[in-house]
């Protein structure tokens, strides 16, 4: 019997799917404290999180039975991937399940910012009526700069092309064909995109390379009156730099659904009426929640049962035929790992695994990881 800890919210239908599984015992502890999860994580084979629970070395060191972490969502910056891999723990996310919702909230923030919708709403509800102070700008024929042309960025390009916008994109990791397919002019550098865009939206993961992509040093390269949108990950645009831009008028507006610290009650940007904030609700639609929950549960169950984890972020992709060849060795590797740990007296700093026969011709990273876990 596998034990699964659900530490953050997932859809009720997904929970029901877990509970129906005869080989799984489920504990739902939404909002669990850091102290409690550290005290009990050793009991569980799987953990399901969203973006709040930090899966770091401290937690992984205590998670002696943990086989898989399911991230209900796309970003994994709250999970230490190298550390999870070193512990033999699979990390799986749900990259396709909330693409539409994430794209749509970015569009919503863009339109709300350009047309002063939030300020106008608050104004009229205060008992006043005046139109002239809420003059906005159209999106039509404006240049939209898209940083990151992956799943969400590509969908954004298709949607905003229909608005009659000119598209320019920066993504050094994709082919020219993707730019062409999405109708985007390719920016060779980030600076080129900053200098040419009337509106900028970002759709990248949070990494050392993407952190603070707009900052105090390149703020001056933005067009005067540029509008910024971040519905990807907190910290991709430096908040102090954005605040300075809003104050000076360099930045006309900033719409953001993600924050450097979550949850939060204070932010330097809250004082600006033209900075529209939402509490990371990009994936909070009925459709996305259902899709996210269903997918994360499927990946977790597959991982526990030794089946293909299609969305594993720390394992190579492997086809079904190859997996059927590798699967018996996964179970064997875990058992051998446990035996080795019990008989070896000295501290284990590295493991060498030699493969012979048919298995030697296959991708063995999953077997390696399972041996380490054992």
Partners of residue 186 on adjacent β-strands: 169
Q: Is 92 exposed, middle or buried (0-12, 13-18, 19+ CB in 10 A)?
A: buried
d(CA 26, CA 154): 37
Which residues, including other chains, have CB under 8 Å from residue 82's CB and lie 6 or more apart?
none
Q: Is 191 left (phi over 0), alpha (psi -120 to 50) or beta?
A: alpha
Q: Active-site positions? A: 233, 262, 280
151-186 confidence digits (pLDDT tens): 999 999 999 999 999 999 999 999 999 999 999 999
| pLDDT recorded at residue 373 | 53
d(CA 288, CA 97): 6
Taking 90 as the threshold, does the pLDDT of residue 366 lie above it?
Answer: no
Q: Does 177 or 336 have the greater pLDDT score?
A: 177
Rounded to the nearest 10 degrees, the angle between the axes of helix 99-114 and helix 286-304 is 150
Taking 60 as the threshold, does the pLDDT of residue 81 lie above it?
Answer: yes
Q: What percent of the chain lies above the pLDDT cut of 90?
A: 76
| pLDDT recorded at residue 323 | 62
- Name the CA radius of gyration of the chain, rounded: 23
d(CA 343, CA 341): 6
Taking 60 as the threshold, does the pLDDT of residue 318 lie above it?
Answer: no
Q: Please state the rounded mean pLDDT for residues 245-259.
A: 97
- Domains belonging to the chain, first-starting first, are 1-98+284-315 (3.40.50.720), 99-277 (3.40.50.720), 319-374 (no CATH)
d(CA 212, CA 239): 8
218-231 confidence digits (pLDDT tens): 999 999 999 999 99
Q: Please state the rounded mean pLDDT for residues 224-240.
A: 97
182-221 confidence digits (pLDDT tens): 999 999 999 999 999 999 999 999 989 999 999 999 999 9
Q: Please state the rounded mean pLDDT for residues 293-312.
A: 92
Q: Per this entry, what is the length of the chain?
A: 374
């Amino acid at each position: 019997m596998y034990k699964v800890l659900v530490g953050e919210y997932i859809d009720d239908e997904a929970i029901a799917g877990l509970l129906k599984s005869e080989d799984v015992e489920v504990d739902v502890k939404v909002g669990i404290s850091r102290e409690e999860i550290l005290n009990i994580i050793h009991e569980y084979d799987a953990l399901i999180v969203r973006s709040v629970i930090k899966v770091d070395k401290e937690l992984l060191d205590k998670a002696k039975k943990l086989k898989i972490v399911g991230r209900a969502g796309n970003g994994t910056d709250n999970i230490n991937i190298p550390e999870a891999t070193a512990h033999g723990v699979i990390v799986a996310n749900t990259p396709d399940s909330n693409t539409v919702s994430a794209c749509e909230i970015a569009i919503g923030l863009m339109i709300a910012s350009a047309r002063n919708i939030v300020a106008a709403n608050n104004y009229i509800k205060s008992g006043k009526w005046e139109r002239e102070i809420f003059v906005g700008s159209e999106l039509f024929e404006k240049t939209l700069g898209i940083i990151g042309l992956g799943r969400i960025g590509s969908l954004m390009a298709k949607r905003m092309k229909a608005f009659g916008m000119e598209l320019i994109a920066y993504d050094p990791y994709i082919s020219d064909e993707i730019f062409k397919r999405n109708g985007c002019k390719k920016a060779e550098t980030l600076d080129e995109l900053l200098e040419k865009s009337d509106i900028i939206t970002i759709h990248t993961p949070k990494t050392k390379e993407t952190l603070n992509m707009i900052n105090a040093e390149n703020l001056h390269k933005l067009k005067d009156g540029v509008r910024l949108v971040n519905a990807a990950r907190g910290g991709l645009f430096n908040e102090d730099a954005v605040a300075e831009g809003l104050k000076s008028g360099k930045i006309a507006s900033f719409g953001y659904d993600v924050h450097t610290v979550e949850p939060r009650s204070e932010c330097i940007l809250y004082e600006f009426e033209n900075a529209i904030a939402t509490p990371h609700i990009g994936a909070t639609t009925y459709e996305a929640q259902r899709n996210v929950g269903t997918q994360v549960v499927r990946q977790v169950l597959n991982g526990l049962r030794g089946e293909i984890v299609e969305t594993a972020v720390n394992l190579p992709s492997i086809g079904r035929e190859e997996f059927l060849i590798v699967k018996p060795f996964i179970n064997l590797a875990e058992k051998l790992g446990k035996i080795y740990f019990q008989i070896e007296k000295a501290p284990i700093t590295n493991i060498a695994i030699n493969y012979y026969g048919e298995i030697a011709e296959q991708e063995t990273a999953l077997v390696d990881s399972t041996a380490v876990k054992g």
